[in-house]
């Protein structure tokens, strides 16, 4: 078990030090429908992050997460998966890079051409979180207008 953790930490360290774009396979559905389980993303270093950008960051000691930025503050960045419930507060040092492309069926889909689109999804995703938090009911939040708009805009 310790050997597996050492390998994961070594990989995370290599990703953080990388200056070239790299491709990584996504596991999970927190970014559905934009990024599906099993698809690949291209990650690049970026000094300028904006609300709506999708980022890869280190989560806890041995995990990586891909989420969308919903709010930026001086000391932290607030992220949320488009299909996730909770907001994660990310220290800027934990960010590995910005997702520049999604690879679906060997085709590259650049995200930088969708700046306004990404910003709108971030706002709607944040509204879903607020509605869920207020009602403490995830099913209600995901069935609301905002969640449906996220799915519609993401197609």
CATH number at residue 57: 2.10.109.10
Mean pLDDT of 67-79: 90
- Structural domain includes residue 66: yes
Q: Please, which pLDDT band fits residue 115 given cuts at 50, 70 and 90?
A: low
- Structural domain includes residue 138: no
Domain range for residue 90? 2-113
- Structural domain includes residue 139: no
- Structural domain includes residue 125: no
d(CA 81, CA 50): 15
The model's pTM is 0.74
Q: Please, which pLDDT band fits residue 93 given cuts at 50, 70 and 90?
A: confident
- Structural domain includes residue 85: yes
Q: Please, which pLDDT band fits residue 105 given cuts at 50, 70 and 90?
A: confident
pLDDT digits (tens, 9 = 90+) for 21-64: 988 899 998 888 788 899 999 999 888 898 889 999 988 877 88
- Structural domain includes residue 58: yes
How many domains in the chain?
1
Buried b / exposed e across 70-94, counting CB within 10 Å, b at 16+?
beeeeeebbbbbbbbeebbebeeeb
């Amino acid at each position: 078990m310790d050997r597996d953790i050492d390998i994961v930490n070594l990989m995370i360290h290599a990703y953080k030090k990388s200056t070239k774009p790299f491709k990584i396979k996504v596991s999970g559905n927190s970014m559905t429908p934009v990024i599906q389980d099993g698809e690949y993303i291209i990650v690049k270093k970026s000094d300028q992050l904006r609300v709506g950008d999708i980022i890869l960051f280190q989560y806890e000691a041995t995990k990586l997460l891909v989420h969308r930025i919903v709010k930026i503050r001086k000391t932290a960045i607030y992220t949320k998966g488009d299909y996730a419930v909770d907001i994660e507060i990310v220290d800027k040092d934990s960010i590995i890079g910005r997702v520049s492309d999604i690879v679906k069926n060997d085709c590259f889909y650049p995200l930088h051409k969708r700046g306004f689109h990404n910003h709108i999804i971030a706002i709607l995703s944040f509204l879903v979180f607020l509605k869920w938090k207020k009602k403490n009911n995830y099913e209600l939040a995901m069935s609301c207008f905002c969640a449906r708009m996220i799915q519609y805009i993401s197609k």
